Structure 1
Amino acid sequence: MMPSYFFAHGAPSLVLEEHAYTDLLKNFASHTTKPKAIVIFSAHWEEPVQTVSAVDLYSTIYDFGGFQDDLYRMTYPAPGDRSLSDQIQSLFTEHGIPSRLNEERGLDHGSWAVLKLVYPDADIPVVALSVNRYLTNEQQYEIGKALSELREQDVLIIGSGGTVHNLRSVNWRAEGVDEWAGAFDGWLQSKLEAWDTESLFKYRELAPHAQMAVPTSEHFIPLLIAMGAGDANRQATLLHRSYQYGNLSLSCWQFN
């Protein structure tokens, strides 16, 4: 069964950077089975109703400003998969999750910056999905769980976001890691590895420095969704964790 994954997408410039985390992303395909399709939830696509892309060929969205010129010349013209989009919508219906299709939206940097590092040829069909910060954490998990059977069809489910993502607190010149960021991620690791969903769903009340680490939830949600997709076996493995600018986390979790 294909594992599901959470990838931190960091800053948009991630796709141009060279360090241990980008090395992991670039080598990911050489250590895993090539998927038949990719389903990706991006923190940068928010909708009030769960939305499923249904396009033939993706355009590239440059949803950022002030970065290197090279970023605005990059494209990721991945094909869509309308039959998979329809199947996803059917699965949501079966699990009582309202959804709708979107036949126009391209891929934002939460999707294409990661996918360009992992599968640079853009030759694997992609279905992009939105997130909704106003659902409960239990509902986020259930969205991933509703799609878990796709893993048996060699479909790769990815959540793209960031466990510690507070742009007001980043220090562009920092070299070390802020203690509060490490404390939050340490708590998170212990709960993920124990598959302690009861605590995870209450992370805002229980985790140290949760408000600093997750001032708004849209970047944390993809982690819960990816975890939900791994509900059948409930095994979480941390593949990488590092930080940029003092507290912007770059982490990768695998859920089997």
Structure 2
Amino acid sequence: MLPSFFIAHGAPLLAIENNEYTQFLNQLGQTLPRPKAIILFSAHWESTMQKVSDVDTYDTIYDFGGFDPELYRIKYPAQGDQQISKEIKDLFTENGVTFEVETKRGLDHGAWVVLRLLYPNADIPVISMSVNQNLKPEEQYKIGKSLSALRANDILIIGSGGTVHNLRAVKWADNEVDQWALEFDDWLAHHLKNWDLDSLFKYDSLAPNAEYAVPRYGKEHFIPIFYALGAADDSRKAALLHRSFRYGNLSHSVWQFG
């Protein structure tokens, strides 16, 4: 059975950088068993209704501005998979998760940056999924949990975002890591490793510096972790595979669940 993952997608520049984190993701894609398909919840696809993509071939969305022109030449023409989309829809129906099907939207950079580092040939089918920051963490977890059975069918489930993601606080020159970011991320790591859902679901009131690490205007980058966590509810094991920071406090974390 494949684990699920929470993977930070960092800044768009990761797509063309060669550093400790990009090398780790390259290696991770080479060492994991090859998945039949990938389900990815992206921080950059927000919707008040859960969306399930059913796309033949994805366009590449450049949902950012002012970066190196090389980024806008990258293509990641992943294919969809109608059968996997149907299985997701069936599971959502069985578990009382309301959803809508999306047949046109391409892959945003929260999806294709991560996928391209893991699987550069774009030769694994992808089902793109939205996130909803208006839901309670328990509800986000439930959505992920409803898909947990798919992991036994060699389907890889990924939440793409960032555990510490406050663009108003980043320092675009690399600096020492801010203490407030470390304290929040250490708290999160402790409770994830213990699968302490009671505390995790109340992170905004219990975690130190939560208001800086997960600002109220930017929860969308944090919440994919609950979808990925829920997808491994049947095994409840968490391991931090990689953690580094850029720009003073922007986290690059990779969590394996299951």
For the aligned pair, the TM-score class normalised by the smaller chain equals: over 0.9
Which residue number in structure 2 is paired with residue 188 of structure 1?
188
Residues in 2 aligned to 1:212 and 1:231: alpha-carbon distance in whole angstroms: 28
1:19 deviates by 1.4
Q: Which of 231, 241, 252 matches 2:243?
A: 241
Letter of the 1:125 counterpart: P
**Identity, % of aligned positions:** 58
Matched, 1:109 2:112: no
TM-score (structure 1 length as normaliser): 0.99
CA-CA distance at 1:17 after TM superposition: 1.3
Q: Partner letter of residue 250 of structure 1?
A: H
Structure 1 unaligned spans of 5+: none
SS at match of 2:55: coil
CA deviations 1:195-241 (Å, max 9, x no partner) are 00000000000000001000121111111110110111100000000
- State how far apart, in whole Å, the 1-side matches of 2:239 and 2:19 are: 21
Helix, strand or coil at the partner of 1:107? coil
Structure 1 distance, partners of 2:174, 2:57, is 40
CA distance, structure 1, for counterparts of residue 24 and residue 150 of structure 2: 24
Q: In the alignment, what sits opposite 1:62?
A: 62
Is the alpha carbon distance of 1:174 and 1:121 closer, same or farther for their aligned partners in structure 2, counting shifts above 3 Å?
closer
Decide whether the 8 Å contact of 2:30 with 2:118 is kept in 1: no
Secondary structure at the aligned position of 2:117 is classed as helix
Q: Which residue of 2 aligns with 1:138?
A: 138
Q: What is the aligned counterpart of 1:231 among 219, 230, 233?
A: 233
1:29 is displaced (CA, Å) by 2.1
CA contact (8 A) 2:46 2:132 kept: yes
- Name 1:126's counterpart in structure 2: 126
The separation in 2 between residues aligned to 1:221 and 1:26, in whole angstroms, is 24
Any idea what the Cα deviations from partners look like across 1:70-121, whole Å, max 9, x if unmatched? 1000000000001111110111111111001000000000000110110000
- Match for 2:252 among 246, 250, 253? 250
Which residue in 1 is equivalent to 2:74?
74
Q: Aligned AA for 1:205? A: S
- Please provide the CA RMSD for this pair: 0.6
Q: Is the 8 A contact 2:166 2:212 kept in 1?
A: yes
Distance 2:19 2:197 in 1: 32
Distance 1:245 1:118 in 2: 23
Secondary structure at the aligned position of 1:240 is classed as strand
Q: Which runs of 5+ in 2 are unaligned?
A: none
The equivalent residue for 1:32 is 32
CA distance in 1 between partners of 2:9 and 2:37 (Å): 20
- The secondary structure found in structure 2 opposite 1:141 is helix
Q: What's the counterpart of residue 202 of structure 1?
A: 202
User: Offset of 1:174 from its aligned partner?
Assistant: 3.5
Alignment partners' CA distance in 2, 1:174 and 1:211: 22
How far apart in 2 are the matches of 1:68 and 1:228? 36
Which deviations, in whole Å up to 9, do the C-alpha atoms of 1:165-196 show, x marking residues without a partner?
00000011242100000000000000000000
